[in-house]
Amino acid sequence: MILHPGMLALLAASLIIAAMALGGAGLGYQILRRWDPTSGSELQLILERRTTLVSTLLAWAFGLEFLSLFLFAGVADSLHSQFVGAMCAAGVLNASATGYPLLILKMANVLLAGSWLIVNHADTRATDYPLIRAKYVTLLVAAPLLIAEAVLLVLFAGALKPHVITSCCGSLFSSQTETMVGEMAPFPFRPMAIVFLVSLGAVLAAGWHTWKTAKGGILLALLSFAAFIVVLASILSWVGPYVYELPTHHCPFCLLQREYHFIGYPLYGLLFAATVSGMGAGILVPAKRKPSLKMIVPGLQRSCAAASVVLYGLLFLLIAALVATSNLKLL
Amino acid sequence: MALLERQRRLLDFTLSSLLRRKGKNGALVAVYALTIFLLASVLFFGESLRREASIILADAPSLVVQRMMAGRHELIPDSYADQVRSIRGVRSVKPRLWGYYYDPLSGANYTIVTSEERKNGTIAIGSGVASTRKLAVDDVLPLRASKGDTMLFTVAEVLSEESALASADLMIVTPADFREFFAMPAGFATDLIVDSGNPRECSTIAEKIAIRLPDTRPIVREEILRTYDAIFGLRSGMVLAVLACAVIAFLIFAWDKATGLSAEERAEIGILKAVGWDTSDVLLMKFWEGTVISVTAFLAGTALAYAHVFLAGASLFEPALKGWSVIYPAFRPTPVFDPAQIVTIFFLTVVPYIAVTVVPVWRAATIDPDAVMRT
């Protein structure tokens, strides 16, 4: 068990998020079972009031989930000095079998949470709660995932044991430990850069189209998700080396460190926000069929598309600036 | 712009509503700020100790070899130095002489080290030694040697106050004086300092030393740093865990404040809803209320903690996080600002506060105007 202040904060946040999600899902289940919009009974009125509680609870929980992803990355990075052979968060995540599954689950939860908040926002805009069923069924899926995340985090924190000097021997022979960075097989620079440009060009064009016409939401969502993967792969392949000015250094976590001006935080923050906005435009497509949302959804889709264009644009500019100011020339 | 204007007006309304209940909200902010102050002080102080240790250790030798006998540190023969020197990658090996001296007059332990650059019969002392023994340059310092006789040293230098954390209890003499004082046999040293040239080679060299000279323990600087990191992290984590009680007490207090709405507050919400406010508007107003309280308490708490740690020397926590000793160097932590710590404090205080107030706030926001105004 590691008693690092950041880890304590992370555990507190994760337990609070899981509790909020569990509470929200419990209320959501009750609402799902007894929901009857045609009834004017007192029960229905109480349930309608409770929907605002669920929305408030989850708006906080999911907002915190987004922040805690970055706290997690930051804590994992700051713990690296306590583990032999760990140069950054990569080594710390590798120190326990739950590290990487936890990171991936957290990333998936952030995307899910963002999408849920967009659907929730659409639902609250209409007067007759048209998306309530879809919303709460998704919540019943999301809550166990968030609880699983809290459990994995507890296991991860429990499994971490800092390497400290023992009295018999002051040396732990650091060099024998393999580091994760070396094992990450990167994609070749040039093809990956081309894929990156094509993918970002496509998502920006689709975003522009949806922004102007409120059509093509599903295509934008698919392209956004594809761009998410492509950008992550590009960071491994060539964005990282450009920032580190070292063609052999492909680590996606060192970007979070002070010596690289914490550039990873805006980079990943933009990526997640852009992806969620782009996906939102597609997720809202089925909602168009609801009569009360017919007039509302196109506006929301355009807002999502506009946000994704701006955010992907900023992400592109940031990466371009990193490449332009780097002393490394790869391409 | 209309959106911003709406939020500004809501915030305006919230502020005036908060100011109408100065006593209640003031008490909440005070307790909130105190909780944040405690947590932030621990974090700031732990981090500054960690930084200080790493700054001091930056100049420490990258590899030290000590000889062990029956699990205890023993004097190391010079022949060991030659064996270490023969290892490929070793640039130089220097025998080091140092020890501790218990001074019965002041009841303090001094650390005695050697330097070739000093003259026999002279001594340089740290500021802590100078003040406990009331010494100045050119004074004579009598010390009781191992064999029972008294040796006289002339104080040649008092080490500067700036390096006090590392040098307060230090005495520097020549190697010859050291051997005479402690009656240390020739051909032996306290330990060996190994310079590897390439710092990355250190652990490989350490491994070879451990194989060739099985009765020694090589200590790599990186390992010491890692241990300090873990220890300071663990200590501040432990203090934080103890302070969890304070946080929980505060949360119960905050929950109670948020749940127990006064008749006046209920009437206010009832009237707002009667004049056309929506539940979501009330929720938004409550959100701003929580934000104003949290931001005020957070800024006050962290600013106070910063002043406490970096201006007042963390007088509240010093004994818990530092060690204890007769000679206490004045420890003025170098101010460090780490955004990660601010985020950590936020997650440990503001996030739980939000969590406990969500449900009471919702209850307040869904008050039925009709029911409130009837009572």
DSSP code string of B12-40? HHHHHHHHHTHHHHHHHHHHHHHHHHHHH
Contact A65, A17 (CB under 8 A): yes
Alpha-carbon dihedral angle through residues B58, A256, A70, A330, given to the nearest 10 degrees: -160
In this predicted structure, what is the pLDDT of residue B320? 63
B41 lies within 8 A of chain A by CB: no
Instruction: Kindly tell me the burial class for residue A188, based on how many C-beta atoms sit within 10 Å of its own C-beta (0-12, 13-18, 19 or more).
Output: exposed
Mean pLDDT over A53-78 rounds to: 91
Q: What confidence tier does B331 reach under pLDDT thresholds 50, 70, 90?
A: low
In this predicted structure, what is the pLDDT of residue A24? 93
**Which residues of B are less than 8 Å from A68 in CB distance?**
347
B337 lies within 8 A of chain A by CB: no
Q: Please answer yes or no on whether B200 and A163 come within 8 Å at the CB atom.
A: no
| Least-confidence region, from B20-29, B188-197, B217-226, B319-328 | B319-328
Which residues numbered 177-206 in B keep a CB inside 8 Å of some CB on A? 200, 203-204, 206
- Residue A43 above 80 pLDDT? yes
Distance CA A329, CA B77 (A): 54
Q: Please answer yes or no on whether A162 and B233 come within 8 Å at the CB atom.
A: yes
In this predicted structure, what is the pLDDT of residue A180? 44
- Residue A3 above 70 pLDDT? yes
In this predicted structure, what is the pLDDT of residue B325? 60
| Least-confidence region, from A9-18, A256-265, B210-219, B324-333 | B324-333
Q: Which of B152, B344, B308 is nearest to B236 (CA)?
A: B344
Q: A282: distance to nearest CA of chain B, Å?
A: 26
Mean pLDDT over B359-364 rounds to: 87
B285 lies within 8 A of chain A by CB: no
Q: What confidence tier does B177 reach under pLDDT thresholds 50, 70, 90?
A: very high
In this predicted structure, what is the pLDDT of residue A94? 83
Q: A75: distance to nearest CA of chain B, Å?
A: 8
Which residues numbered 203-262 in A keep a CB inside 8 Å of some CB on B? 262
**Which residues of B are less than 8 Å from A9 in CB distance?**
343-345, 347-348
A165 lies within 8 A of chain B by CB: yes
Q: B214: distance to nearest CA of chain A, Å?
A: 10
Q: Which of B206, B347, B358 is facing A57, going by the closest CB pair?
A: B358
Q: Please answer yes or no on whether B348 and A8 come within 8 Å at the CB atom.
A: yes
B221 lies within 8 A of chain A by CB: no
Q: Please answer yes or no on whether A173 and B340 come within 8 Å at the CB atom.
A: no
What count of CB pairs under 8 Å joins A to B? 145
**Which residues of B are less than 8 Å from A27 in CB distance?**
none
- Residue B152 above 80 pLDDT? yes
Which residues numbered 58-97 in A keep a CB inside 8 Å of some CB on B? 60, 64, 67-68, 71, 74-75, 78-79, 81-84
Interval B38-50: pLDDT, tens? 999 988 888 888 8
- Residue B103 above 90 pLDDT? no
What does chain B come to in residues?
A: 375
Query: What is the location of CATH 2.40.40.20 in chain B?
Result: 63-219
Distance CA A2, CA A93 (A): 13
**Which residues of B are less than 8 Å from A11 in CB distance?**
none
Q: B148: distance to nearest CA of chain A, Å?
A: 33
> Between residues B312 and B30, which one has the greater pLDDT?
B30
> Between residues B106 and A27, which one has the greater pLDDT?
A27
Q: What confidence tier does B299 reach under pLDDT thresholds 50, 70, 90?
A: very high
Q: Which of B224, B218, B228 is nearest to B193 (CA)?
A: B218
- Residue B323 above 70 pLDDT? no
Q: What confidence tier does A68 reach under pLDDT thresholds 50, 70, 90?
A: very high
ipTM of the shown complex = 0.85
| Least-confidence region, from A150-154, A322-326, B240-244 | B240-244
Mean pLDDT over B180-195 rounds to: 92
**Which residues of A are less than 8 Å from B227 in CB distance?**
164-165
A22 lies within 8 A of chain B by CB: no
Distance CA B307, CA B197 (A): 42
A51 lies within 8 A of chain B by CB: no
In this predicted structure, what is the pLDDT of residue A299? 92
Interval A209-242: pLDDT, tens? 999 998 889 999 999 999 999 999 999 888 988 9
What residue segments make up the domains of chain A, in order of their start?
Answer: 1-161, 184-331
- Residue A175 above 50 pLDDT? no
3-class DSSP state for residue B197?
coil
Q: A191: distance to nearest CA of chain B, Å?
A: 35
> Between residues A87 and B33, which one has the greater pLDDT?
B33
In this predicted structure, what is the pLDDT of residue A2? 76
**Which residues of A are less than 8 Å from B361 in CB distance?**
56
Amino acid occupying residue A17: I
Question: H or E segment at B86?
Answer: none
Q: What confidence tier does B220 reach under pLDDT thresholds 50, 70, 90?
A: confident
Q: Which residue in chain B has the smallest CA separation from A162?
A: B230
Question: Of the ranges A143-147, B108-112, B169-173, which is most confident?
Answer: A143-147
Q: Which CATH class is domain B63-219?
A: mainly beta
Residue B299, CB-side half-sphere exposure with 13 Å CA sphere:
5
Q: What confidence tier does A177 reach under pLDDT thresholds 50, 70, 90?
A: very low
